[in-house]
Amino acid sequence: METNRGHAGQAEGNGEQEERGRQGRLPAPEALLADLNEEQQRAVTHGEGPLLVLAGAGSGKTRVITRRIAWLLAMGIPAERILAITFTNKAAQEMRQRVERLIPGHRVWIGTFHAFGVHLLRQFGDRLSLSRSFTIYDVDDRNAFLRATMEAARLDNYRYRPEGIASAISKAKNQLRSPADYARSAVDHFAQVVAEVYPLYERRLRQVQAVDFDDLLYLPALLLREHEQIRSHLDDRYRFILIDEYQDTNLAQYEIVRRLSQDHRNLCVVGDPDQSIYRWRGSDIRNILDFERDFPDARVIHLPRNYRSTGAIVSAANRLIAHNKQRKKKELRTENAWGVPVRVWTFRDGLDEADQVVRRIKETVQAGRFRYRDHAIFVRINALTRVLESAFVRHGVPFQIVKGFAFYERKENKDVLAYLRLLVNPQDDVAFERVVNVPARGIGETTIERLRNLAAERGCSLLAAAAEAGRCTTIKAASARALTQFHRLITELRTRLDLPPHELIDLVLQRSGYEQMLQSSEDPDDQERLANVQELVTAARQFHELNPQAGLTGFLEQVALASDVDGWDHEADRVSVMTLHASKGLEFPVVYILAVEEGLLPHERALRDEAELEEERRLCFVGMTRAMRELHLCHAHLREYRGVIRCAIPSGFLDELPRDQVEWHDLTSTDSNSTRPGDRPIVYAPPPSLPPVPSLPSSSASDLSGSRRGGKSILPPLHRSAANGEAVEGLAPGIVIQHEQFGIGQVVAVSGFGAQQRMKVRFPAHGEKTLLVAQAPFRILNRRSGS
């Protein structure tokens, strides 16, 4: 019996050295090497000069970084001379703790590139006319700000959406192209519009003392490029630089690294080109492939052995990735046991897939083979988690969906955060506009428009203009009063900036009337919103306890830098659900990858582009190589995606796995869960011209329900509630049903109870119908995703 031998979580070992560290004794340098193989030891003990560790998944690269930090410290290198960069804040936190266990009390700076960027800008931003209290705009803020910039410059009459222009600017920054660089190469009309907007956007951002997310890399790169004194100071300060997941650096990150390791070339990077999955965000795999060209004297170390996964998993992953043409040939090897075969599961539809996977996990846990926390489910896109959520609830299985910043993206929390941002940076016009009339203060859009004009005339912020509103003839007296009151509120609150962040949030909630607004609301959702903003107070308190010196600015910074995986609690005994992208660097005893289907994995975006297809294959490879003991790949015949139910074709990636080593299980018919090792799955070929289901005329929709394979319907039987006259559980607006006569439709309203329960359903081919639930012959097909 396999009893809880695996561990889930951030990969990188928990050897006995760490135990020793916990007991407070500093390990002798050699003790740090005991549980490393020869190549790892060479990497850890490498002296000065550039070092590239190029190695496959699960071969101990992250362990090398952690151990090398400890080694350098044990060799007497002062902590402040070491800089370690990880891919997520979560990974940084883990690494910090692991080093802490080896060398208690160390103070090495370990964080992401973005956090390092903030760190530099808070120190040296003044060289770029940036005050210490600058605001960090997230994507929403940035888009709103760009829109406002275009409106102010009367550039909003083009047919291009601000989001499109914003992402072109983002790309330019990641490639270190200034507005002038961009303008020089702008040929088509879109590029010319971008070239016109980009400098205005930059100028206005600086006026309001804000930076966007890309600036956190772009500006430090400029700083290091243009201020030699600062560059050489930092180069000297960070004598030893270590970077994990180097294959996913972009040009701006690369520039920062290069500039910091010019005089002291003690740069150690580790990575795996087969795991480069952020091309769409500007990552450039060439950074790792060209390392030897950039540093001709670099020492290159390959780690030969995978410690993470069973032989079966390693073999399957090897076979998949071998199909990429743009790669250096390399094979993972492991000395671990072969283990159980990789399994491919075929389901009827996505609902069935979620249901059966969750059920299987529950059975495995009940049988004592693994814990819930040993399991992870990966999906290509977030939208697929919705169906899983209800399956978990139905089966009473504890789970966590790793979408860390969703909490901070809730409207109410963004409102409260906007108040805080405005307190820290009164120039922050985006924050001002967000909260000036929340709660309602009788300040309408016309007033705001006039206030914007006033601010533009005076060349001041909206908040400063608000103080003067009374003197502006175009603003109505009542609105002007409201504006000056708002100005007074913010000014008063600003005098309390010395309070710890959670106390300040409390004060803001009370004084702004925000709490009162939610408390007195009749809307039941507002009670939940109230709970959320109170949770924000808790988050701030916890932050303060851990970082008593960081203050409100530190808290806002943490919020701004939060990424998906940061909210993940790897110690909780829950099944983890996350995107394949978020799974990078982690490991779990049991992994399920859902919806391994054409259009999802590989994503439809990649179907026509060979380079993108290879990136999708790498993404699949990353997911597979997270598994330590068991790997399950799932696909279904029907998949609901973007509110449309489609026939789904198994991913071509499944065909690339070693057929004789993978077990295929077809669960599309209730009586057959037979195992046929070595068999190909029975591929359900959809009729060639089948359009998305909801637009089907009802006759073809019933054809679909009659589709047969092996003599069995591929859909569940019709729900005939007339037979028992009961209300149907789980019926709610948004749910997609199939009616015997009207075909597929979406529920728009449900009313009444028991035998009297009615639902209003919109049928594409028949319009809206109100039906008595207990009488209607229908079945629930699926929830509508994206609703």
> Which residue lies nearer to ligand ATP by CB, 204 or 333?
333
* Nearer of residues 149 and 625 to ligand ATP, judged by Cβ: 625
As measured in angstroms, the least distance from the Cβ of 662 to ligand ATP is 21
62 marked among binding-site residues: yes
Tell me the closest approach of the beta carbon of residue 246 to Mg ion, in angstroms.
11
- Residue nearest Mg ion, CB atom distance: 62
Nearer to Mg ion, 220 or 585 (CB): 585
8-state DSSP, 473: T
CB atoms within 10 A of CB 109: 18
Cα(67)–Cα(73) distance, rounded to whole angstroms?
Answer: 10
HSE-up of residue 268 (Cα within 13 Å, Cβ side): 28
Q: How far apart, in whole angstroms, are the C-alpha atoms of residue 62 and residue 58?
A: 9
Site string for Mg ion, 157-196 (x = CB under 5 A): ----------------------------------------
Query: Residue 318 corresponds to which tokens in the numbers above?
Result: 């090897």
Q: Which does 308 bind (CB under 5 to 8 A by kind): ligand ATP, Mg ion, none?
A: ligand ATP
Alpha-carbon span 168 to 510, nearest angstrom: 41
In the chain, the amino acid numbered 341 is P
> With respect to ligand ATP, which residue has the nearer C-beta, 59 or 135?
59
User: What is the distance between the alpha carbons of residues 747 and 767, in angstroms, rounded to a whole number?
Assistant: 12
Residue 301 touches which member of ligand ATP, Mg ion, none, C-beta under 5-8 Å by kind: none
Q: What residues have CB less than 8 Å from 717, skipping those under 6 apart?
A: 779
Grouping H, G, I as helix, E, B as strand and the rest as coil, residue 511 is helix
Give the nearer residue to ligand ATP in terms of CB position, either 59 or 785.
59
Query: How far is the C-alpha of 301 from the C-alpha of 194, rounded, in Å?
Result: 44
Burial 632-650 (b: 16+ CB within 10 A, else e): bbbbbbbbbbebbbbbbbb
Residues identified as active-site: 61-62, 244-245, 275, 626
What is the closest distance, in whole angstroms, from the C-beta atom of residue 574 to ligand ATP in the complex?
20
Q: Is 446 marked within a binding site?
A: no
Q: Is the CB of residue 350 less than 8 Å from the CB of residue 636? A: yes
Q: What is the C-alpha separation between 454 and 471, in angstroms, rounded?
A: 10
Confirm or deny that 651 is annotated as ligand binding: no
Please, which residue, 408 or 568, has the CB nearer to ligand ATP?
568
Our CB check for ligand ATP shows the closer of 40 and 310 to be: 40
Task: Please report how close the Cβ of residue 62 comes to Mg ion at its closest, in angstroms.
Answer: 3
Single out the residue of 62, 447, 461, 576 in contact with Mg ion (rule: CB under 5 A): 62
DSSP strands (E only) in 62-154:
82-86, 109-112, 135-137
Q: List the single partner that 40 binds among ligand ATP, Mg ion, none, CB under 5 to 8 Å by kind.
A: ligand ATP
Task: Check the annotation: does 59 bind a ligand.
Answer: yes
Q: How far apart are CA 691 and CA 268, in angstroms?
A: 53
Q: Among ligand ATP, Mg ion, none, what does residue 635 contact (CB within 5–8 Å per kind)?
A: none
Our measurement of the distance from residue 376's CA atom to the centroid of its chain's CA atoms, rounded to an integer in Å, reads 16
Nearer to ligand ATP, 37 or 521 (CB): 37
Of 60-68, 276-284, 498-506, 706-714, which segment contacts Mg ion by CB under 5 A? 60-68
Counting Cβ atoms within 10 Å, is residue 273 exposed (0-12), middle (13-18) or buried (19+)? buried
What tokens does 287 get?
A: 């950074």
Is residue 470 annotated as involved in ligand binding?
no
58 binds, among Mg ion, ligand ATP, none (CB under 5 to 8 A by kind): ligand ATP
Which residue from 177, 568, 175 is spatially nearest to 404, judged by alpha carbons? Answer: 568
Looking at the Cβ atoms of 10 and 553, the one nearer to ligand ATP is 10
Min dist CB 507 to ligand ATP, Å, is 44
Query: Residue 593 pairs with which residues in a beta bridge?
Result: 378, 633
Which partner in Mg ion, ligand ATP, none is near 391 (CB below 5 to 8 A by kind)? none
- Min CB(433)–Mg ion separation in Å: 42
Q: Which does 13 bind (CB under 5 to 8 A by kind): ligand ATP, Mg ion, none?
A: ligand ATP
Q: Which does 612 bind (CB under 5 to 8 A by kind): ligand ATP, Mg ion, none?
A: none
Burial of 713 (0-12, 13-18, 19+ CB in 10 A): middle
Q: Are 57 and 622 in contact (CB under 8 A)?
A: yes
**Contact criterion met (CB below 8 Å) for 302 and 276:** no
Number of Cα atoms under 13 Å in the Cβ half of residue 432: 26
* Nearest distance from C-beta of residue 46 to Mg ion, angstroms: 18
The CB-of-272 to ligand ATP minimum distance in angstroms stands at: 5
Residue 585 engages Mg ion in binding (rule: CB under 5 A): yes
Name the region of 129 (left: φ>0; alpha: ψ -120 to 50; beta: rest).
left
63 contact choice in ligand ATP, Mg ion, none (CB below 5 to 8 Å, kind-dependent): ligand ATP
Nearer to Mg ion, 95 or 422 (CB): 95
Ligand-binding annotation for 752, yes or no, is no
Decide: 760 and 749 in contact? Cβ < 8 Å. Answer: yes
Q: How far is the CB of 783 from ligand ATP (least distance, A)?
A: 33
Kindly state the DSSP code that residue 717 receives in the 8-state scheme.
P
Q: How far apart are CA 133 and CA 554, in angstroms?
A: 10
What is the 8-class DSSP label of residue 328? -
* Contact yes or no for 451/475 (Cβ under 8 A): yes
Put the strands of the sheet holding 266-271 in their side by side order.
109-112, 82-86, 240-243, 266-271, 51-55, 299-303
Q: Provide the binding-site residues for ligand ATP, judged by CB under 6 A.
A: 11-13, 35-37, 40, 55, 57-63, 272, 275, 307-308, 585, 587, 625
Q: Work out how close the CB of 282 gets to ligand ATP at its nearest, in angstroms, rounded to a whole number.
A: 21
Alpha-helix runs per DSSP H in 436-578: 445-458, 462-467, 477-494, 501-511, 514-519, 524-546, 551-561
In the three-class reduction of DSSP (H, G, I as helix; E, B as strand; rest coil), residue 270 is classed as strand
**Per-residue contact flags (x/-) with Mg ion for residues 289 to 328, judged by CB under 5 A:** ----------------------------------------
User: 155 near 196, Cβ under 8 Å?
Assistant: yes
Q: Binding site annotation covers 24?
A: no
Q: What angle do CA 368, 592, 781 make, to 5 degrees?
A: 105
CA distance 509 to 496: 14
> Which of the choices ligand ATP, Mg ion, none does residue 285 contact, using the CB cut-off of 5 to 8 A by kind?
none
Nearer to ligand ATP, 277 or 431 (CB): 277
DSSP lists the bridge partners of residue 777 as: 720
329 is in an annotated binding site: no
Amino acid in position 489? L
Candidate segments 247-255, 398-406, 579-587, 608-616, binder of Mg ion by CB under 5 A? 579-587
Find the shortest distance in angstroms from Cβ 15 to ligand ATP. Answer: 7
User: Residue 272 touches which of Mg ion, ligand ATP, none (CB < 5 to 8 A by kind)?
Assistant: ligand ATP
Chain positions contacting Mg ion, by CB under 5 A: 61-62, 585
List residues forming the annotated binding site for ATP: 55-62
Name the binding residues: 55-62
